[in-house]
Structure 1
Amino acid sequence: MTPAGTAIPKTKGRRLAAALLPLLLAACQTQPEVEARPAMWLVEDADTHIYMLGTMHALPAGTDWDRGKVADAIGAADELMLELSPRELAAAGEIFRELAPRSAPLAMKARLSGPALAGYRAIEGDGDFGGDTLDDWAVLVQMGQRVAQRAELSPADGVEAGLTAAFQKAGKPISGLESARTQLMLFETLDPATQRALLVQAAENAAHAQSDVLAMTAAWSRGDADALAKVVNEDVDKVPAARKAIITDRNGRWTAWVKRRMDRPGTVLMAVGAGHLVGDDGVPAMLAAEGYRVVRAQ
């Protein structure tokens, strides 16, 4: 990552659902103010400056993330680049409803057994989200949604929502790196075995899903890029086809966009899921490998 909008958007598959798909989440209860200083990088030349901010799409209410160097970047930027533009985000729910259903229902007990089925039922709880009628990837999305709801994370308090409001108020343009359909098709087109592996992995580890999501949010709040990279790598490395489609290939396309944008003057704030900016195949690392000077700005 749909009740509140969609993006696609980790621990053992459950983090993948919660971290890559969190814009699917519904608003939740408020929490005390939390100070966050997320990691941000800068690539620049004489007349072009591109800040790359790692985001959490859904956060506890009251999270204070837009001060310090991030505030400076927001003020300096001429434009905002997100994974999905506001227009695409608004269209995502309808596209999810189009793509998510199976061609024929398949009971969850026919897909999962033992601890995996028990874990799925525990996340589903009393509110049936129609898993029998959905593709495996869409069930994974619904599971991530339910976990984040219970963790009291809300997309209304996420970084993208805050940035969108700030740039709209300032009259600055907002664009997107992908369309909603393209983003959701990353999951829809995963082969059935990969979809099932992600679903089983998430369901088997359901007991720890909520605490893992909160731990990942805490690492993001500290700006701990190494901890985030470890979380991302330990999960999706277990399902290489998913890692390639959902992380590595997208990072390569986004790196290519940054390179093209460097040919034009101006200042851009690029804000994408934090998992895309960390590790050896994160966008900053890819840019550095091609000879660009990338520095940690916060």
Structure 2
Amino acid sequence: MSLTQLLKTAARSAVGVAAGLALTFVAVDSAFAQAPAAPTITPATGQGPALWLIEDADSRIGLFGTVHVLRPNTPWGTAKVEAALAEADTLILEIKDPNDQAAVAPLIQQFGVSPDRPLSSLLTPEELAELNAAASALGANAAALDPLRPWLAGLTIAVAPIIAAGFDPTSGVDTVLRAQALAAGKPVGELEGAEAQVRMLASMSEETQLAFLRSALRDYERASTILDELVQAWATGDVEAIDRIGVEEMRNQSQELYDLILANRNRDWADQIQTMLAASGDTFIAVGAAHLAGDDSVQEILEDRGVRAARVQ
């Protein structure tokens, strides 16, 4: 497998939610997925994923947690989510167009490759053997991944077993909501965009990048099981379980990673929501479910600032 092919594989795979620490990484690399022409949503079997509503005199904002990659036909649709999206003037995602190949591929090349500091110079022989075994699922080997920076190698390894287990980027909630909004003639905006997310990942210290890669190698065989647990919690609206699986695990592993991936971004998004409230209109915001769980969730930050997000589902 050539380096170019490997990068494309990593980008295509990383559209979804990865296991463990990769839960919030994956939206950056969705450039090679193709959005479904006519997305359908399987109805939820219970109350469905959690939905919050933020309102003032002339603004209404729906706040919905997503999973970026799902098994096809995962049940999650509800009348309240459908109505909130239908009533909204605009849909806001983390990344406006996760299928924009031209935007993402050069970023991966720029920030994800470091041939002058290969993985073979950073990992032990035992870790390189583990990397080689995990890379075999991609039709690659440790030598093919050697030029990648640790964050991209870790992301590739974390997501590969998830895709192999049948999780599909085109079934991801963000992709489906975007297609529905565009079909209804609604504009789609973004909270940060692909470049910001790639730069964020690349800004991690090398120590934290290596910790993430080692975590991906350690959890490789159980990655799809972890994701199934997260999806089950999300699909049933169990926010406490999402906190335990997708948030506390990250905080326990690395405070730097937790601040970078969740806490800092949640504060920025809360700023943007307050700006939206200061204007007027009806907006539907959909972000990774881990951002809406835990003590540093978007809702908790807003609550501390005197802005209430009321759960309606």
Alpha-carbon contact 1:18-1:141 (below 8 Å) kept: no
Is there any run of 5+ residues in structure 2 with no aligned partner, and where? 1-7, 35-41
Is there any run of 5+ residues in structure 1 with no aligned partner, and where? none
Aligned counterpart for 2:62 among listed residues 21, 26, 51: 51
Cα deviation per residue 1:207-253 (whole Å; 9 max; x = unaligned)?
A: 32221111111111111100001112332112111111111100000
Alpha-carbon contact 2:15-2:68 (below 8 Å) kept: no
Amino acid at match of 1:187: L
1:74 matches 2:78: no
Aligned counterpart for 2:150 among listed residues 136, 142, 166: 136
- Could you say what secondary structure the match of 1:65 adopts? strand
Alpha-carbon contact 2:68-2:169 (below 8 Å) kept: yes
What is the TM-score of this pair, normalised by structure 1? 0.88
Distance 1:6 1:145, change over 3 A: closer
Amino acid at match of 2:296: D
Aligned counterpart for 1:111 among listed residues 123, 139, 143: 123
Cα deviation per residue 1:93-126 (whole Å; 9 max; x = unaligned)?
A: 3321332111425244851454x55543443225
- Could you say what secondary structure the match of 1:49 adopts? strand
Distance 1:147 1:295, change over 3 A: same
Distance 1:40 1:176, change over 3 A: same
Amino acid at match of 1:133: P
Amino acid at match of 1:255: A
1:273 maps to: 288
Which stretch of structure 1 is more off in the superposition, 159-168 or 141-150? 141-150
2:97 maps to: 86
Distance 1:60 1:189, change over 3 A: same
1:187 matches 2:201: yes
What is the TM-score of this pair, normalised by structure 2? 0.84
How many aligned positions are there?
Answer: 290
Aligned partners of 2:216, 2:292: CA distance in 1, in Å?
A: 23
Aligned Cα root-mean-square deviation (Å): 2.6
2:51 maps to: 40
Aligned counterpart for 2:254 among listed residues 223, 239, 244: 239
Alpha-carbon contact 1:10-1:232 (below 8 Å) kept: no
Alpha-carbon contact 2:13-2:156 (below 8 Å) kept: no
Aligned partners of 2:176, 2:258: CA distance in 1, in Å?
A: 28
1:264 maps to: 279
2:303 maps to: 288
Distance 1:283 1:107, change over 3 A: closer
Aligned partners of 1:117, 1:221: CA distance in 2, in Å?
A: 37
Distance 1:259 1:281, change over 3 A: same
2:242 maps to: 228
Alpha-carbon contact 1:19-1:56 (below 8 Å) kept: no
Alpha-carbon contact 1:7-1:184 (below 8 Å) kept: no
Pairwise CA distance, 1:10: 7.8
- Could you say what secondary structure the match of 1:101 adopts? coil
Aligned partners of 1:27, 1:34: CA distance in 2, in Å?
A: 24
Cα deviation per residue 1:133-160 (whole Å; 9 max; x = unaligned)?
A: 1000000111123022122111111111
Cα deviation per residue 1:72-111 (whole Å; 9 max; x = unaligned)?
A: 1111111000001117844223321332111425244851
Amino acid at match of 2:288: G
Amino acid at match of 2:171: D
